[in-house]
Amino acid sequence: MTYSRIAGIGSYLPEKVLTNKGMEAIVETSDEWIRERTGINKRHIAGEGERTSDLGEAAARRAVEHAGLSLDDVDLIIVATATPDLTFPATATIIQHKLGVKNGFAFDVHAVCSGFLYALATADTFIRTGQAKCALVIGAETFSRILDWTDRTTCVLFGDGAGAMVLTAEDGEPEEYKGVLKTHLRSDGEYCDLLYVDGGPSATKTVGHLRMQGNQVFRHAVTKISDAMTTLCAQTGVDIADIDWVVPHQANQRILLGVAKKLGISVEQVISTVAEHGNTSAASIPLAFDAAVKDGRIKRGDTVLMEALGGGFTWGAALVRY
């Protein structure tokens, strides 16, 4: 049976760092409040003229190099982003051009903070059905561009960055898979007013700013994420106790720990980069995954569960054997 092997992973963070202390100069907040409520210490901010496609391109090049492959091998590029360079064309085709890829096809998916899981599930389906052989799955965001920098309840939470994963088509029996085992995606538009951007080409003709009822989002996050994780484990017959690592969407340290506690997962098994990166939306999972691969925590053969909830609401989980 054909499955998607995780051949390589890479990430990129803009050079500019904004610390919580630096944030104190922008809005009425404190390092102590931000750390206590969110676990965030600092975030990276894209430079002037640095676009989502630049971040995504850099992460993609690192992932392809890590996989030991050539850009000529790539025949599918999916970019998960809520902060595209332009309304159209898709950031994926812009990245395709920057990478000099001429094969296959490229498109964006838009599921905000769950975007990487949606992109992964989509790429996995194309590979399993024989429509692609080497997919670049990219999460890339410049949330700094859609923040209201006068709103302390949201602007302290987010950062910019990109992560990328290379999936290749392999044949093998399910017990031998070194890649995507299964994904589980959900959404419910009833909650679209709790987390949204108040602008867009069809509604207001302005780009708009992120608006969020943080405490309401928080309330839904732990329950919905835990539910997606347990559903996925039940569907695959994998016991939560057999999971080596959880790579969550990095929204807030308290959400990460809340989910771990609810499912009886040890805190040491939860990969957290929220302190260094803040919430980078669709980029946060591949950024965290890459950090844990590069520092030697996630090793080949480990079972890894990824999870996220984002605007929409969209949410879900993905189970892989790295």
Closest CA to 181 of 59, 10, 301: 301
- Is 20 an active-site residue? no
Q: Is 310 in the site for ligand ACO (CB under 6 A)?
A: yes
Please give the C-alpha separations between residue 220 and each of 64, 85, 315, in angstroms, as whole numbers. 36, 30, 10
Q: Is 251 in the site for ligand ACO (CB under 6 A)?
A: yes
The dihedral sign for the CA sequence 214, 40, 62, 166: negative
Residue 162 beta carbon to ligand ACO: minimum distance, rounded to whole angstroms: 16
Q: Is 38 in the site for ligand ACO (CB under 6 A)?
A: yes
- Count of residues near ligand ACO by CB under 6 A: 24
Q: Is 53 in the site for ligand ACO (CB under 6 A)?
A: no
Cα separation, 160 vs 183, whole angstroms: 26
Question: Looking at beta carbons only, is 145 or 152 nearer to ligand ACO?
Answer: 152
Helix crossing, 31-38 with 253-263: angle to 10°? Answer: 20
Which residues have CB under 8 Å from 87's CB, separation 6+?
Answer: 201
- Is 249 an active-site residue? yes
Cα separation, 292 vs 247, whole angstroms: 9
Q: Is 33 in the site for ligand ACO (CB under 6 A)?
A: yes
Closest CA to 292 of 252, 250, 247, 258: 247
Catalytic residue selected from 66, 249, 252, 277:
249
Catalytic residue selected from 113, 134, 155, 233:
113
Which residues in the 107-126 window bind ligand ACO by CB under 6 A? 112-113
Positions annotated as catalytic residues are 113, 249, 279
Give the footprint of ligand ACO on this chain (CB under 6 A).
Answer: 29, 33-34, 37-38, 112-113, 152-153, 156, 195, 212, 214-215, 217-218, 221, 251-252, 255, 279, 281, 310-311
